[in-house]
Amino acid sequence: MRMATVEITKENLTETVENNGVVLLDFWAEWCAPCRMFGPVFERVSEKYPDAVFGKVNTEQQRELAAGFEISSIPTLMALRDGMIVFAQPGALREKEFVEVVEAVLALDMEEVREAIAAQNAR
């Protein structure tokens, strides 16, 4: 059985996103009290969804990644599906809310998402 959460660094981000359909990222820092509150929630929910990758990005150690994703407050939760960011929200979520986000990301019809993006870009 794999570890429920993985540490994401600039070295493993691309491979993680390319090799997994659903990736949820928790951008956090040691000094951040809401991050410490959300950490156990992130961990518990990760154990319920073995088909998704739950990655933790320490914004102090991975400043380039935090800047690249334009993280301005932490914790920030981000979800990627098929390499596309489909959800991003700052703030700690309650477990029930986080489960709803995960379920929604897993339920996305990516064909519809791609068509919507293509239509938006065509404007």
pLDDT, one tens digit per residue, over 55-84 is 999 999 999 999 999 999 999 999 999 999
Report how far apart, in Å, the C-alpha atoms of 66 and of each of 56, 76, 99 are. Answer: 11, 10, 24
Which class would CATH give 5-122? alpha beta
Catalytic residues: 32, 35
Pairwise CA distance, residues 4 & 55, whole Å: 9
In single-letter form, the type of residue at position 2 comes to: R
Structural tokens at position 18: 């390319």
pLDDT, tens digit, 9 for 90 and up, residues 3-23: 579 999 999 999 999 999 999
Decide: residue 111, CB within 10 A, 0-12 exposed, 13-18 middle, 19+ buried.
Answer: exposed
pLDDT of residue 57: 97
Given a contact cutoff of 8 angstroms between Cβ atoms, the answer to whether 49 and 100 are in contact is no
- Do the strands 5-7 and 84-90 form a parallel or antiparallel pair, or are they unpaired? unpaired
